[in-house]
Structure 1
Amino acid sequence: MSVDHNPAGAGKTGADQSDADKSDDELPAYYIASVGRALTLLAAFTERPKLTVSEAAGLLDVAPSTAHRLLQMLLFHGYVEQGDRRVYVRGPRLDSLAPPAARPRDVESVVLPHLRRLRDELRGTAHLLTLEGNGARFLTGVEWRDETRIASTRVGWLLPAHTLAGGKAMLARLGSAELTALFPDGLPVTRYGRINTLAQLQSDLRAIRARGYARSREAHENIHAIGVALQAPAPMNAAISVAWSDRRFPAEHETEVVTALRTVAQDIAIELG
């Protein structure tokens, strides 16, 4: 059984004695329980790349409002970052706590610092995606915040791979037979789709292989994205991408954007070994 407060002076020695001597009015509310919950959340983020408010509430067995306040404190101090849909991901301060050898080596934790680097350098929203059937799953991401909030993070979303820059970069790594097997009934119909048949997709993928990166405007009418495949550990097929609202897309600097993406992809591959 745990309690929020100890009787004044009970079991207290040294540095702890000063807290015991304080009156109840001087102590912060839930002064042990709240710290314990915050540390529990920090420990959870060392084992997984992201948490929602409801997941944090379930983990702590508290109300969502309590979990939200704790997550906001971690956000304020840089231990986590926040995307859309109440998804929180590890922040740079949490990544710096453990020595490199002790940090988790899953792909998402390795990629996150590189995504922040892309976000800050290219002023766009950066994602890590993986191929899931003929869809692309957004595993983790970091958002470039501007007044439009159009190119927000899509962490957790599964969208048709052929509509996404990162998705097409992954599809371009597949052979013709593998690609055909993914679309036995043809390409799924999408609202903004510009590629509607397997033949059109095959042609687009040939161009992507030739230039080494993919572009996309199919997923949303106001979003432009560029993606490159990631040399992730087999059998994972992954990619990184950066997206901007149309009016912010740096079209005149596409070469520099691609160079930055390729450099980061190479750095990630080296780090993953």
Structure 2
Amino acid sequence: MRSDDETTERETDYRVPSLQRGLAILQMFNAARRNLSMAEMAERLGVSVSAIYRIVHTLCEMGYLRKLGKNNYELGPQVVSDGFGYLTSRDLVDVALPHLNALRDRTSLSCHLSIREQTDSLYLYRAFAAQRLSVNIPIGTRIPCHCTAMGRMLLSGLNDSQLDNLYQHVRLDDYPPPAPRTLPELRAMLDQDRERGWVLHRSDYSTAIACAVHDHRGAVTAAINLSGPDAVMDDETARSHYRQALQQCARAISRELGGG
């Protein structure tokens, strides 16, 4: 007869065994043990080879494991990519945070920081302006790059070949103007963005100005923006002031990242 505690534990066990096994397999690799056979993995987990075959195959397909020879495996490049990508993003946020907060305080406008993930602009940080008509995009939001000011600055770091490869199978005509509807139109737009060094983008109720942030190699590693209601941003003199403040902020962040 089961006790109440045993019953409760079984009813609230939300673990996913296959996920547990997949993560346990990745944790088996270390500096002392750089490769393992599937039989060794199964033995360490106390299961049969057939029980983990599909898990190992999936990890290989996703790049977290790489097959060596007939039946040996090592950690794949995705493990390193994800790890360094996370660390880089955290370092970037830590560097940018005080600069964006100060920019928000000087201008009373919302500021955002984003990086590019494939064709999306991923929002990593926001300095939210406490006013009724503030623009407030949550951290973790993804927006297609070609539709936003920050996204276009992120794409401006790509050459024509990289841009063609990135958008080879991506449709652009599902978004309203001023978003470009074709790849040649996007390419021409980015040429102007690079030469100008900033992008201004108007939506239904707000305006955003974006600049690129550069790393120690001079590559575009992120983008920042100032965004506010049209009532505030319509004045050309004010907009010029905001743009200069944003560019100074982008240069300060770039310098801390080793950029020129």
TM-score, normalized by the shorter chain, greater than 0.5: yes
Question: Which has the larger helix fraction?
Answer: 2
Match of 1:202?
Answer: 187
Match of 1:159?
Answer: 143
Q: Residue 225 of structure 2: SS of its match in structure 1?
A: strand
Partner Cα distance (2:173, 2:143) in 1: 10
Q: Deviations over 1:140-165 (max 9, x none)?
A: 1111122234x113311010011111
Partner Cα distance (2:112, 2:194) in 1: 21
Task: Specify whether residues 155 and 188 from structure 1 end up closer, same or farther in structure 2 by C-alpha distance, changes over 3 A only.
Answer: farther
Structure 1 gaps, min length 5: 1-104
CA contact (8 A) 1:124 1:242 kept: yes
Which of 161, 165, 171 aligns to 1:186? It is 171
Task: Specify whether residues 136 and 233 from structure 1 end up closer, same or farther in structure 2 by C-alpha distance, changes over 3 A only.
Answer: farther
- Deviation of 1:233 (Å): 5.2
Task: Specify whether residues 182 and 251 from structure 1 end up closer, same or farther in structure 2 by C-alpha distance, changes over 3 A only.
Answer: farther
The residue identity in structure 1 corresponding to 2:207 is H
Q: Aligned Cα RMSD in Å?
A: 2.2
Which of 234, 246, 254 aligns to 1:269? It is 254
Match of 1:131?
Answer: 116
Task: Specify whether residues 198 and 251 from structure 1 end up closer, same or farther in structure 2 by C-alpha distance, changes over 3 A only.
Answer: farther
- Deviation of 1:189 (Å): 1.6
Q: Residue 156 of structure 1: SS of its match in structure 2?
A: coil
- Deviation of 1:198 (Å): 1.4
Q: Return the TM-score normalized by structure 1.
A: 0.56
Partner Cα distance (1:181, 1:187) in 2: 14
Q: How many residue pairs are counted as aligned between the two chains?
A: 167
Partner Cα distance (1:131, 1:251) in 2: 30
- Deviation of 1:236 (Å): 6.8
Q: Deviations over 1:86-143 (max 9, x none)?
A: xxxxxxxxxxxxxxxxxxx811011011111111222211011101101100001111
Match of 2:225?
Answer: 241
Task: Specify whether residues 205 and 125 from structure 1 end up closer, same or farther in structure 2 by C-alpha distance, changes over 3 A only.
Answer: same
Share of identical aligned residues, percent? 28
- Deviation of 1:182 (Å): 1.5
Partner Cα distance (1:216, 1:192) in 2: 11
- Specify the structure having the higher radius of gyration (Cα): 2
Q: Residue 186 of structure 1: SS of its match in structure 2?
A: coil
Structure 2 gaps, min length 5: 1-89
The residue identity in structure 2 corresponding to 1:227 is A
Partner Cα distance (1:106, 1:189) in 2: 35
**Correspondence 1:82-121 to 2 at 5 A:** 106-121=91-106
